[in-house]
Chain A
Amino acid sequence: MSTPTTQAPPAADAAPRRGTASGFLSGPAGRNAGLVIALVILCVVGIATAGDRFASTDNLLTILRLAAVTGVVSVGMTFVIIGGGIDLSVGALVALSSVWATTLATQALAEDTHWILMAGTALLVGGVAGLVNGVVIAYGKLVAFIATLAMLAAARGLAEIIANRRTQIVQDQDFLRFFSGSPLGVPTLVWIFALVAVLGWVLLNRTTFGRRTFAVGGNAEAARLAGIRVQRHTVALYVLSGVTCGIAAVMLMARTTTGSSTHGTLLELDAIAAVVIGGTLLIGGRGTIVGTVLGVLIFTALSNVFTLNNLSSSAQAVAKGVIIVAAVLLQQRVAAGRRQRRSPKAVPPTAAEGGPAGASPGVPAP
């Protein structure tokens, strides 16, 4: 259905109009439509193979509940990636936050006051760790990949030290009761995910913060010269990601009734995968929360369908890998289509002085 729409010829502008032929899938709405289609296909497969076991309300709520933790972290990850960074430490930060919030000291304090203190501790720990990430990256000029890889190792190690490698049980019954509830028939964890996603969407699309995130990730130099405090903004993005890890830690504490240094293992990969298949460009500057949410749902629905059909988790992993590659291939084709329109402009005479190494004279025809 990718009919190139004929547009009125440009008035006096020399530039040719952007071709619409690459079509429907290239727009953000189109990409999300692609994800919705993928999700629908998954559901159809689910119904076809597992019937009512898949299509029951209970099962759908299970899918959503399982998606919630990864989803919250993925929303924070979306901001970081749109801003031109990456956060590999999210899984470890979830573990550290969960452990810190369930130490005997924190739990005792919470018992004396209110369980909200436990949740607050988790958020604070996540936020502070994110602050460290951000400062090291923005002011220490470390590559985000390395800085957050270091945080991954350090945070999980610290979590192990604090917990002494033991699983810490959440004692506070009010805490557990609150998070295990189902207002309006929907689990609290799912409400939290929905709330975080909506807030994330608003923050990204309706505020100056979101606009600056796109600008910083799209062209950091232009953003800086436009007067945006790029370093400060970068720090804020990692703090945001850290706070979402804190939220995810609280949700995991509620779901498993424990705090543990093994929580969130490999969560960073799930989150990055969800963000990427959601259409966010890893180079930054482009991305949507809706795409990320759909990405998370696709992965969760996939494992659900596999589980209902008694397929091994190994088979799930293979399918996941295939989906990631397929999604990124699609993304690249879209990006290439965009580059085709752009590439001549990316090499204007001014920017072209000093040519890229691409046109190598050293590779002759055989």
Chain B
Amino acid sequence: MSGALLEMQGIVKTFPGVRALGGVDLDVRAGEVHCLLGQNGAGKSTLIKVLAGAHQPDEGEIRWQGETVRLTDPQAAMRLGIATIYQELDLVAGLSVADNVFLGRERSRFGLSRPAAAQRATADLLARLGHPEIRPGTEVGALSAASQQMVSMARALSQDARLIVMDEPSAVLDNEEVERLFHVVRDLTADGVAVVYISHRLEEIRQVGDRITVIKDGRTVATGLPARETATREVIALMTGRTIEYVFPQRTERAATTAAPLLEVDHVTVPGHVEDVSFTVAPGEILGLAGLVGSGRSEVLEAVYGARRPTTGEVRVDGKRLRPGDVASAVAAGVGLAPEERKSQALLLGDPIYRNITLSSLGRFARGGFLSVRGEKAAAREQTEALDLRPVDVDREVRTLSGGNQQKVVLARWLLRECRVLLLDEPTRGVDVGARSEIYALIRALADRGVAVVVVSSEIPEVLGLADRVLVLAEGRVLADRPAGALDEHQVLDLVMQGTTTPTSEDDAA
């Protein structure tokens, strides 16, 4: 396309075990606000790091004003005029606004700094951004998040940025501040600066965006959609919908739920996240929790597990009340959690497989506190064989495994523990497509052994395909509790959208 400021084509970035980007296309025109949409883990951050020169792509081409370029380091990107404003702002809190704007390029003459010149230039930039009230001499740490963002923008402008990438800028702002940010964004684009805008909030994208690119599982699934005319439902379906047909295991026909519930969640509230949620799960049943980011789906699991302390309500396993906010007592009662952030929340990446598997069952391999490593390894090997976890060498460091195999390590931990209630948060995130079906089959096999399973997933087809029963959550509340067979993707989407977005009739009419 002619007139494109930036074109990225077929960008591939592989990390050991994970293909973060599997072919992303993006084209940005001068003077437009290009919105980048995708769920957590879709690859947005990796993509903007490639764009910022912080990651080198394995494959693909980047063209800047029609010429192929290589962004070998962040400086190279900056020289072209690409500036990135990260979610966690990279400002030095103890320095003044002007010092931050010119950090690394201090104004000086004869080796003496010229604070007055820097302050004047900074004041000009801030005025151009419509924020003359930010004084260049103020310490950045004393500014609000919104003002700090403006300082980052001023820094970008001071480098003559032609393309500014903003990673969820609205996450830290209130409504009024967002309005003012949009004002700045519109002014910038009127001057011909391009903005790549990342946000979860669809309504913002309608307000400020020109075109949309949606990425999912590291691939571009749609590009160049008109921001105002594309229906919300379509966008969400693109973000959450299936791209590949997965094989879901056959549901087991169970005698109608006569069995007493194994897990009972009774009017649990976690302020700000979960509002009065109640449900039960029978042994052998898989309950799916569907909802958008921020619907409270992960927080429900954490409250059940004791990783978050509910203010009201109780959780019972087999009729026995769990101590609220105490993970160890939940584990003792036979509850296991495979958390969302596997690497940071579940695994000891530098430790061998067997140690990760036995971590929650150490007592079983100990006599008087002394561990039998041989016993541990034998038990771990049994699990890895049963789960077809590769490599079979249980001495291998977990960090060298693929996402799917790492997830199997987490599952093996709870299998070994013989847990009776299994909570799975995004069990297939970062798991290769091929390994997903295996994980699904495994979860079903566990349920068939009488485990009560709760699955959270941002992929609606996954919830519908895997679960026996589905709870739809929005803004921390349960909107629906139905058998999975009685729901289809569209119904879930409709329910989900009632919560976090406010679809207007124009949206759907378009």
Q: Counting CB contacts under 8 A, is B218 at the interface? A: yes
A355 contacts which chain B residues (CB < 8 A)?
Answer: 45, 48-49, 54, 86-88, 167
> At the interface, yes or no: B304 with Cβ under 8 Å from chain A?
no
B52 with A361: CB separation less than 8 A: yes
B136 CB–A CB distance under 8 Å: no
Contact at A218–B348, with CB atoms within 8 Å? Answer: yes
The complex places the Cα of A175 from the Cα of B373 at a distance, in Å, of 41
User: Is A360 part of the contact surface with B, judged by Cβ < 8 Å?
Assistant: yes
Query: Which residues in B have their C-beta under 8 angstroms from that of A338?
Result: 350
* Given known A-B contacts A11-B391, A227-B332, A285 and B88 have beta carbons under 8 A apart: no
Interface string of A222-261 (1 = CB under 8 A from B): 1111111100000000000000000000000000000000
B43, B104, B371: the one within 8 Å of A206 (CB): B371
Whether A15 lies near B401 (C-beta < 8 A) is yes
B156 at the interface (CB under 8 A from A): yes
A214 CB within 8 Å of chain B: yes
Which one of B330, B341, B369 contacts A350 once the chains associate, using CB atoms below 8 Å? B341
B417 shortest CB reach to chain A, Å: 8
Q: Does A183 contact B (CB under 8 A)?
A: no
Interface flag for A65 (CB, 8 Å): no
Whether B105 and A364, one on each chain, are in contact in the complex, defined by CB atoms closer than 8 angstroms, is yes
Instruction: Give Cα A285–Cα B355 distance, bound, in whole angstroms.
Output: 13
Does B339 lie within 8 Å of A225, measured CB to CB?
yes
Q: Which residues of B contact A16 (CB under 8 A)?
A: 16, 400
**Contact A350 to B430, CB < 8 A, known contacts A221-B344, A365-B79:** yes
Determine whether the beta carbon of B78 is less than 8 Å from that of A364: yes
Q: Is the CB of B432 within 8 A of A14?
A: yes
Q: What are the residues of chain A within 8 A of B234 when measuring CB–CB? A: none
How far is it, in angstroms, between the C-alpha of A351 and the C-alpha of B44 when the chains are bound?
A: 11
B83 within 8 A of A: yes
Q: Is A12 an interface position by the 8 A CB rule? A: yes
Q: Mark B66-93, 1 if CB is under 8 A from A, else 0.
A: 0000000011011100011111111100
Query: Are A363 and B359 closer than 8 Å at their CB atoms?
Result: no
B26 within 8 A of partner (CB)? no
B102 to A: closest C-beta gap in Å: 9
A112 in the interface, Cβ–Cβ < 8 Å? no
Which residues A331-366 have CB closer than 8 A to chain B? 338, 341-342, 344-366
A360: chain B residues at CB < 8 Å are: 74, 90
Considering residues A219, A221, A342, A353, which has the most beta carbons from chain B within 10 angstroms of its beta carbon?
A: A353
Q: A residues within 8 A CB of B403?
A: 348
Q: Tell whether, in the assembled complex, residue A362 and residue B100 are in contact, meaning their CB atoms are under 8 Å apart.
A: yes
If A11-B391, A226-B413, A362-B100 touch, does A209 touch B369 (CB 8 Å cutoff)?
yes
Neighbour of A357 across the interface among B90, B369, B400, CB < 8 A: B90
**A342 in contact with B349 given A225-B337, A226-B360 (CB within 8 Å):** yes
Q: Decide yes or no: A11 and B327 within 8 Å by CB, A225-B307, A345-B399, A362-B90 being known contacts.
A: no
Name the residue among B88, B218, B343 with the largest chain A CB count within 10 angstroms: B343
Using an 8 Å CB-CB cutoff, how does the interface string of B366-378 with A read, 1 for contact, 0 for none?
1001110100000
Across the interface, A352 reaches (CB within 8 A) one of B46, B342, B346, B390, namely B46
Quick one: given A13-B401, A17-B400, are A361 and B370 in contact (CB under 8 Å)?
A: no
Q: How far is the CB of B136 from chain A (nearest CB, A)?
A: 15
A214 to B41, CA, bound (A): 29
Tell me the residues in window 307-355 of chain B with beta carbons closer than 8 Å to chain A beta carbons: 307, 327-328, 330-332, 337, 339-351, 355
A211 at the interface (CB under 8 A from B): yes
Q: Is the CB of B167 within 8 A of A207?
A: no
Report the Cα distance A360→B85, complex, angstroms. 9
Decide: B345 and A15 in contact? CB cutoff 8 A: no
B113 at the interface (CB under 8 A from A): no
Contact A223 B402 (CB under 8 A): no
16 A–B contacts, CB within 8 A, in A order = A13-B405, A15-B16, A18-B397, A18-B400, A206-B373, A214-B351, A285-B350, A342-B350, A344-B15, A345-B15, A345-B399, A347-B46, A353-B45, A357-B89, A363-B75, A364-B78
Interface residues of A (CB under 8 A from B): 10-18, 202, 206-212, 214-215, 218-219, 221-229, 285-286, 338, 341-342, 344-366
> Can you name 13 extra interface pairs (CB under 8 A) apart from A15-B401, A226-B360, A360-B90?
A15-B16, A18-B400, A222-B348, A227-B330, A346-B343, A346-B349, A350-B40, A352-B45, A353-B44, A354-B167, A355-B88, A357-B86, A359-B84
